Every structure is written in C-alpha cells, then in structure tokens.
A and B are shown apart, each in its own frame.
Chain A
Amino acid sequence: MPIRVLIVDDSASMRAVVKKTLAAAGYAVQTCLEAQNGAEALEILHQEPVDVVLSDLHMPEMDGLELLRTLQKEGKVPPCFILVTTEGRKERLKEGLGLGAQGPEGLDF
C-alpha cells in the first residue's frame, strides 16, 4: 500500500539519504514531504495528514522531541513517528518513546 511520508531534518543531505534509503528498501512512497525543522513539520502536518514521520532529534528552532511533545498535546501524533538519529542517549530516547515514537532508528555510519 502506498504511504505518505514526512522527512524532518535540518540537513538537506540527510533528507536525501533517508529518501534514497526508503526507495532502496522498496517502500511504495506515494508522497514524500520534507521539513527543515519541527516547526515546519508541524505546519505541514496541520494541513496534510501523513502515515509516517521520520524525524531527526537534533534541529534548530524546534527539535524532534519538541515536535513530538506538541503533536501529543494536540492529540495528532501520526500512526508512525520514527526518530532517526545517531544519538543513542537512553534518557533522550526514553523520552521519545514515552511520547509515542516508534523506534528510534539509529544511524550507523
């Protein structure tokens, strides 16, 4: 089933890498939206529902956890919200999971 995806990352390079990875993994992506930070993602999500959010943790203006907190307060956490991060600190990740994130998905380079 085709899915609607929102990729949230302040790095254009990383958004491109995530996009490529989804394609290489064979996901049928119907729409792939992009946001540079949590605030931009929030604006998009208020207008367009998506099936999956793949969000970085560490971003300017509004980071991934703040985005998740806001969505939870609004009762609008998408069906699948995945934190994509190189950071694996337990406290931060535990907070993300507590707010409704699936994952987190660690990036090993």
Chain B
Amino acid sequence: MFFMVPEWDPELLAELGPQKAEGWYQGMVVVSRQQIKIGLWVWCPPQVSRELAANIMALEPGDLDSEQILDAFREMINMVAGGVLTAVDPQSSWTMGLPQAHLCQHGSLGQLLASTKEQMAFNVDDRPVLAGLSVQSS
C-alpha cells in the first residue's frame, strides 16, 4: 500500500475551471440535520480515481473496471464523511446519506464546481483533485 497525499492548492481552481469534466469521477454524500442538508462533493481525474481504487482494494490499477472504481469512490467518500462526522458530531445528531458516484459525461469542471458553495482544490502528486460543499436549508 502507498499513500496519496493531497496538498491544498487554491490556484488550481482558476486553472482547471474551463477544462472538460468528461471522464472525471464524481462522488457525493449528503449529511443532514433537521432542515439543513450539507453535500460533500469530490471530483478526480480518471488516473487518480483508478489509483485510489487500486489502493483501497489492494489491486493493480490496470486490473480495475469502471464499476469497481465507482464502488471504491463511494467507499472513499463514505470514509471521508464518516471521519468528519466522527470528529465533529460524537452525539450522532447528523444523519449521513448513502454515497453516490458516477462518471462525468459532459460539461466543464467550472460548471460542476459552480453547483457548490465552497470549493477546494488539492494537488495529489501533481494531479488535481477537487472538492466542494453545498448547503441547502428548507
């Protein structure tokens, strides 16, 4: 096993915005409490997604199909959200939904990011990984 270490790199947001989202993997999970829903979104380019899935499943990156990558992507976002809730919500007042993942078919990364309230960009071994938070209150 090896580790993928993300480094925060806000300048990437402006550089990547116009690029095509096609082929990127998108994962999201919603945590909610009463009327507040917070969505956690992650976007990764194909190769990073493949390596991430290979690390989680202890397989070679080339041995994975896209369904396995999506499965691992859902698991990764589940781990991230579960870890955050463990740190900030020991009393379990927030409910975590089921994670979702899919392959982006069209649009630009800027369009995807625009659907979130807060955006973050990370550099993983010179490759970008994007994340966003959306907040909905009804």
Could you tell me which A residues sit within 8 Å of B by CB distance?
A: 10-14, 16-17, 20, 58-60, 85-92, 107, 109
Contacts and interface: CB of A to CB of B under 8 A. Distances in A.
Interface stretch (B40-48, B91-99, B105-113): B91-99
B56 interface: yes
Contacts, number: 54
Contacts of A92: 92
Interface of B: 53, 56-58, 68, 71-72, 74-75, 78-79, 82-83, 85-86, 89-92, 96, 98
Contacts of B74: 11
A13 B78 CA distance: 13
Contact of B98 (A13, A14, A60, A89): A60
For the complex, would chain B's binding face be called helix, strand, loop or mixed by DSSP majority? helix
A52 to B, nearest CB: 21
Contact of A58 (B68, B71, B82, B92): B82
A13 B56 contact: yes
Contacts of B96: 58, 87
Contacts of B68: 12-13
Given A87-B85, A89-B90, A90-B91, A17 B58 contact: yes
A17 to B, nearest CB: 6
Which among A14, A59, A86 has the highest number of chain B CB atoms within 10 Å?
A86
Contact of B86 (A10, A12, A13, A88): A88
Nearest to B98: A60
23 contacts: A11-B71, A11-B72, A11-B75, A12-B68, A12-B71, A13-B56, A13-B68, A16-B57, A17-B57, A58-B82, A59-B98, A85-B82, A86-B79, A86-B83, A87-B83, A87-B85, A88-B82, A89-B85, A90-B91, A91-B91, A91-B92, A92-B92, A109-B79
